[in-house]
Amino acid sequence: MKFSLLILPALSAVALAAPAPAPYLLDKSCVHKKPYKHYPDNYYGCEEYNKDEWAYKVKCIWYKPEPKDCKPYKKEYEEEKKKKKQKEKEEYEKKKKEEEENKKKQKEKEEYERKKEERKRKEKEEYDRKKKEEEDKKKAEKEKWEKEQKEKWEKEQKEKYEKEKAKWDEVEKKKNASAPAAILCKTLKINCY
């Protein structure tokens, strides 16, 4: 009993003499935190703050800065919220309109390129067609000229042959006509020419 009476005061003295936790042992993230103070849910900007109560009470018991400044919901905030929503809607509409205009421009550009390609293709087809017609025309003219030349040559050859034939026929005719006289001359052994 005496022994316990001696030990208890000694332990109490040691406990009282023990220093507070050293600053380096504290959670340094608490320096950047506000002290916890629960606010009603109708306070703007404090809902997320209220969720940190347990973490604050466990980690930040030694840190005592000023309480967080939270503002209750007011009509001005509702108007601000409405304006913000309206602004977001306008921005969305503007963005949507710009996208539609860009799509329209892209479509017009594609249509222009398509028409341009179509026009080029038609021009090429027309050029090829005219070129082929020109080549066919030249070929036909050449064939016609060659045919005319051939017919002319054949005609000349035929006329020449007929002339030669007529000449030889005339000679043969004369020869045949003078054959009895030649026989007579030969028989009589006289010069008839």
Write out the two tokens for 193: 């020419």
Q: What is the DSSP-derived secondary structure letter of residue 19?
A: P
DSSP class per residue in 148-191: HHHHHHHHHHHHHHHHHHHHHHHHHHHHHHTHHHHHHHHHHT--
Q: Is position 175 within any domain?
A: yes
Q: How confident is the model at residue 39 (pLDDT cuts 50, 70, 90)?
A: low
Q: Is position 167 within any domain?
A: yes
Q: Is position 81 within any domain?
A: no
Range of the domain at 134: 97-183
Q: What is the DSSP-derived secondary structure letter of residue 20?
A: P
Q: Is position 62 within any domain?
A: yes
Q: Flag whether pLDDT at 48 surpasses 90.
A: no
Query: What is this structure's pTM?
Result: 0.32
Is there a single domain that holds both residue 101 and residue 177?
Answer: yes
Q: Give the pLDDT confidence of 127-166 residue by residue, as tens digits.
A: 999 999 999 999 999 999 999 999 999 999 999 899 888 8
Which residue is it, tokens 């006509």? 177
pLDDT at 101: 94
**Number of domains the chain is built from:** 2
pLDDT at 88: 94
Mean pLDDT of 97-101: 95
Q: What letter represents residue 190's amino acid?
A: I
Positive/negative CA dihedral, 5, 10, 16, 19: negative
- Pick 27 or 151 by higher pLDDT: 151
Which residue is it, tokens 């028409």? 115
